[in-house]
Amino acid sequence: MAEGQVRTGSCLCGGVRYRTTGELRNVIYCHCSQCRKTSGHFVAATGCAIENFELLNAESLLWYRASEAAERGFCGVCGGNLFWKPDHGERISMFAGTLDVPTKLVSESHIFVADKSDYHNIADGLPQHLQSDL
């Protein structure tokens, strides 16, 4: 786990800004078809307990019901993909690239590699999981 601290992040236009406190999960690369379709490649995501997450500006935040179990948050102005939130409400994932630097995070693994696109070769030496069996 990354060292606990206050971190901020936003979409490209700043219409959505957020803050996290406490521990963030190390970065996981998700290759599922939903992440590929919303990002154009794969997603690098971290996450925290929902009580350690605060929206500072949500004027352009929209939520998309992506499955029966989760929704995805994005900016309705610039289109920036920001969040993945399961319905149980205990945690929220944020796309690591939306965090302001320095993040002091490290990459941990790849998940849903069975769904990765055929043009992409994973060669970074990180553990690979066919599904999300972490």
Mean pLDDT by 10 residues, the chain (134 residues): 79 98 96 94 97 98 95 98 94 98 96 95 96 69
Whole-structure pTM value: 0.91
For residue 15, tell me if it sits in a domain.
Answer: yes
pLDDT at 132: 81
Q: How many structural domains does the chain have?
A: 1
How far apart (Å, rounded) are the C-alpha atoms in residues 67 and 26?
24
Burial class of residue 45 in the structure, from the number of CB atoms within 10 Å of its CB (0-12 exposed, 13-18 middle, 19+ buried): buried
Q: How many helices (H) and strands (E) does the chain have?
A: 1, 10
pLDDT at 4: 61
How far apart (Å, rounded) are the C-alpha atoms in residues 119 and 2?
31
For residue 88, tell me if it sits in a domain.
Answer: yes
pLDDT at 89: 86
Tokens of 105: 């995070």
pLDDT at 127: 97
Q: DSSP alpha helices (H): ranges in the chain?
A: 33-39
CB within 8 Å of 99: residues ≥ 6 apart: 7, 8, 9, 46, 105
For residue 58, tell me if it sits in a domain.
Answer: yes
Whichever domain contains 56, its CATH number is 2.170.150.70
* Strands lying side by side in the sheet with 81-86: 61-65, 70-75, 81-86, 91-95, 43-49, 27-30, 107-111
How far apart (Å, rounded) are the C-alpha atoms in residues 82 and 93?
8
Where in the sequence is the domain holding 70, given as residue range(s)?
7-23+44-108
For residue 79, tell me if it sits in a domain.
Answer: yes
